[in-house]
Structure 1
């Protein structure tokens, strides 16, 4: 194989590998100390102490108004929670889990004879949903590229405050 063919082949392999690796970005900035979500404004803010470092627009569930109470209601919880898990193998590109339901959420759903649900994540957006508003089952969906940044910046245990 000639020198130029090897160069093209190695370049193609390098491009392919860098594209595969780009899902996992590295963040070396200030620690994200909290996440603030304003559902009505559709804005998610990443904070270091009192300074907003990044803000993102997002889509919600198919019933965006009000606090999540039951499994399948299409709502996003409101209140104080934490990030409990990072999923590198999400079917929604990447995702980070909100630790909903808390004890209060569980108690309310039980009093009503229902399940509170769970699996509330901040996640990416599959192509089939791109451009469609409020398509999730209660999660917060950002673009895949934005999710790569959020995934790199946010650690397990980070508090998240979700407001109406």
Structure 2
């Protein structure tokens, strides 16, 4: 009996180590917003929060994640929202990922304008400046995306799948005569990446819980090569497609519209 139990545990541990960004286990589809977690008590010890190993790989649900991490993540996020004078959970959320700065900004609003909430350090993001063009180029895409699935059974703790390639990516590929654009681009935990945004485990817990509570249909993800509020986005490289300048104009407008009413200096923890 002891030997059998040991083999089962070892098998589950091995399964969790396999796969890369494109090797996420089948995610759970998002259908509607999930109610916010109950208001947490003060001084909650993070070591109290863990998810037991399921009997079989892939059995964890979004509801399971909210049950385990929802209270803790909400307690961490609430002070930032209170400082920004935005209710929690908000009505809409925008994540702004800046590749050069290795930073992901969280913006949100309820009934007013978007306000800056906080930022997170991106722990890993492969590739260089420029949009993702094909399978295997290891590029983090650039553009304006949506979260189409939440994956509670990711090999990278938790993950959120982007809708890459989106309609604009497909249009440009058709005009260029490109095929096999790649897929399976995620925002996930851990600290390694092949075309994804790796946020670390604690950060992805907050982002995952927030997205589940707000509803994925109310979350937008803007990915830029660098911060256009610092210096303009320009497609200077001859290796970039001709349409990159137009894409960068769209990204710049989206980001600058978010911060147009923000006068204070943004800081993150």
Range into which the TM-score falls when normalised by the shorter chain: 0.7 to 0.9
Give unmatched runs, 5+ long, in structure 1. 1-14
Q: Secondary structure at the match of 2:205?
A: helix
What does residue range 1-164 of structure 1 map to in structure 2 within 5 Å? 18-20=49-51, 24-26=69-71, 27=74, 29-31=88-90, 32-49=92-109, 50-58=114-122, 59-61=124-126, 63-110=127-174, 111-125=176-190, 130=191, 135-154=192-211, 155-157=215-217, 158-164=219-225
- Let me know the Cα RMSD of the aligned residues: 2.4
Instruction: Spell out, residue by residue over 1:99-138, the C-alpha distance to the aligned partner (whole angstroms, 9 max, x if none).
Output: 110123224335434311111110001xxxx4xxxx4221
Deviation at 1:87, TM superposition (A): 0.3
**1:53, distance to aligned residue in structure 2 (A):** 1.5
Separation in 2 of the partners of 1:121 and 1:78?
A: 13
| Equivalent residues, number | 141
In 2 relative to 1, CA 72–47 (structure 1 residues): closer, same or farther, beyond 3 Å? same
Q: Which has the higher contact order (CA 8 A, sep 6+)?
A: 1
Give the C-alpha shift of residue 16 in structure 1: 8.8
In 1, Cα distance between equivalents of 2:68 and 2:185: 21
Unaligned stretches of 5+ residues in structure 2: 1-45, 52-64, 79-87, 226-269
TM-score by length of 1: 0.75
CA distance in 1, matches of 2:96, 2:47: 36
| Matches of 1:23 and 1:109, distance apart in 2 | 41
Quick check: 1:67–1:76 contact (8 Å CA) kept in 2? yes
TM-score of the pair, normalised by structure 2: 0.48
| Higher helix proportion | 2
Distance across 1 between alignment mates of 2:130 and 2:223: 11
Q: Does the 8 Å contact 2:188/2:196 carry over to 1?
A: yes
Distance 1:121 1:85 in 2: 9
SS in 2 for 1:147: helix
